[in-house]
Amino acid sequence: MIIEYTRVKIARIDGDVEARIISSSYDPPNPPTVGEEGIVVHELEGGDYVVEKVEPNGYSTWIAWFRESELTPLD
């Protein structure tokens, strides 16, 4: 279990990365890639997590969902 506001690194992405995107400040959105870091902002039912990558300017590069097995906690 990963608690909210934990910094994580994407270890892998199983399946279609485009289907993972919930929101982005960009149109078209920049999809997440393996190795990027983000913050867990919500735990979904079933053990999946919503992760957000925020830029220094406050824009969301992406908000996407991941399985716990795809994430490596950093904090």
Q: Is the separation of the CB atoms in 59 and 25 below 8 Å?
A: yes
pTM: 0.94
Query: Is the residue at 16 inside a domain?
Result: yes
pLDDT tops 80 at residue 3: yes
pLDDT tops 80 at residue 15: yes
CATH number at residue 61: 2.30.30
Query: Is the residue at 1 inside a domain?
Result: no
Instruction: Convert the pLDDT of each residue in 17-69 to its tens digit.
Output: 999 999 999 999 999 999 999 999 999 999 999 999 999 999 999 999 999 99
Which residues, in sequence order, are CB contacts of 7 under 8 Å at separation 6+? 37, 38, 39, 73, 74, 75
Query: Is the residue at 60 inside a domain?
Result: yes
| Domain count within the chain | 1
Domain of 69?
Answer: 7-73
Surface-to-core class of residue 8, CB atoms within 10 Å of its CB (0-12 exposed, 13-18 middle, 19+ buried): buried
